[in-house]
Copies of this chain bind each other. A is one copy, B any other.
Amino acid sequence: MSASALAIEVPSGFFFSAVAAGLKASGRPDLACVRIPAGASAAALFTTNRVVAAPLEVDREHLKRSRGRVSFLIVNAGNANCATGAAGRRDCERVCREAARLLKLHAESVFPSSTGVIGVPLPVEKIAHALPELIAGSAAGEQAAEGFARAIMTTDTRPKIVSQRISAGSRSFALLGIGKGAGMIHPNVATMLVYLFTDIEASPRELQTVLRPACDDSFNCISVDGDTSTNDTVLLLASGASGVSLRSPGVRAKFVQALNEVCKQIAHEIISDGEGVKHVVRLRIEQARDRNEAMRIARTIAHSPLVKTAWAGADPNWGRILAAAGRSGVALDPRRINIFFGDLQVCRGGVAALFDEREAHAYLTQSQYDVRVQLGRGRVSLDFLTCDLTTEYVHINADYTT
């Protein structure tokens, strides 16, 4: 369910706000927050990149010290506060301290995020100056949530909001996911930020055990350009305000299903709004021995510039897909490989299948389609979401203005 078409289900206990603090050159809102007056249980996953932005270091420490409790989430767009050294860390801590002072909280219950340009000092004065107005504006409801979603956008062309309401006996709980995209633009190296809000009652440890598998099947199975950001963050917050406990009979399964669905939908929105994307490709690796080798092959195909440019041109060049699989490092037997565009088999046993090239081309002109690669090695399948590589992507990322 997307924000524009349908109502957003906003879980209880969360108050959203956004202002323009002057970090985006466009003058659009660029500073956003979520207040959780009663506090929330939190679980988070961060980038695996060795170069890690200051807010991620602060987040890890705060979550440790607060034992996974968050009362205030603050996100700025326009500056990643990464590769900013000790000063960047101090700047981030200063923002948390200011917010904590205004809200009468411990700084450790503040969760900061940043996205934007790398290597430029965080404009901490602008943020500090905007904080009182930001906090004063926080409100429950759809409009406030959408304002938050818009403020954290960088090169995204639309906000990414997915929500569900799930009944549990006579009560119900809501799950709201808000994300921003993995596309990149000069001078910004942007980031995937995903915030998941629920009013279910759960401990930080319980949240962590459901968050990891949900991310493995969604955010860890997508790729725009193979570049892992220094700021990637997924945060799950549970306010408990619904009165529904994750431990109640039958609730956990419902919550896990909703979480998986919401994560997959946000992942899909991130890919389809990738920079310059004209085709969303649902890549499915079948008959792998294990998930590991399926992932290796999916990633090698999804990151091949030759494959991605063929997709941009709706070119049924299955040879490039076969060649990419071949260099993945998995000990494939090419004679067992089948490749399909939708239901149309284009490669059988590693050689050309008889197919109508015009039909294949027409299929690949669709904005979204399926590419299936069968390995003939085992029984494991993996779904991976990716996209084409267009001249627009290069323009967006190459155009430099002094």
A residues adjacent to B (C-beta < 8 A)? 48-52, 80, 82-85, 87-88, 117-120, 184, 186-187, 189, 225-230, 303-306, 309-310, 312-315, 317-320, 322-328, 330-335, 347, 349-352, 357-358, 361, 388-391, 393-395, 397-400, 402
Contacts and interface: CB of A to CB of B under 8 A. Distances in A.
Contact of A350 (B85, B320, B335, B388): B85
A314 B389 CA distance: 20
Contacts of A317: 118, 186-187, 189
15 contacts: A49-B327, A50-B326, A50-B331, A51-B322, A117-B319, A119-B318, A119-B322, A225-B304, A227-B305, A305-B389, A305-B397, A309-B397, A310-B397, A313-B400, A390-B398
Contact of A402 (B319, B349, B361, B395): B361
Given A50-B328, A83-B347, A119-B319, 18 more contacts: A49-B327, A50-B327, A50-B331, A51-B325, A51-B326, A51-B327, A51-B332, A84-B352, A184-B306, A187-B315, A227-B304, A227-B327, A228-B323, A229-B323, A230-B323, A361-B400, A389-B394, A389-B398
B83 A352 contact: yes
Contacts of A389: 305, 394, 398
Contacts of A305: 225-227, 305, 389, 393, 397
A51 B228 contact: no
A351 B397 CA distance: 22
Given A119-B319, A323-B229, A352-B83, A189 B347 contact: no
Contact of A352 (B120, B327, B388): B120
A398 B313 CA distance: 4
B83 A351 contact: yes
A400 B323 contact: no
B306 A189 contact: yes
Interface of A is mostly: loop
A30 B171 CA distance: 75
A347 to B, nearest CB: 7
Contacts of A361: 400, 402
A303 B324 CA distance: 14
B85 A349 contact: yes
Contacts of A349: 85
A368 to B, nearest CB: 18
Contacts of A334: 50-52, 83
A38 B22 CA distance: 77
Given A49-B323, A83-B319, A394 B397 contact: no
Contacts of A347: 83, 119
A357 B402 contact: yes
A88 B319 CA distance: 15
A394 B402 contact: no
A358 B402 CA distance: 7
Given A305-B305, A305-B397, A323 B189 contact: yes
A332 B50 contact: yes
A318 B318 CA distance: 36
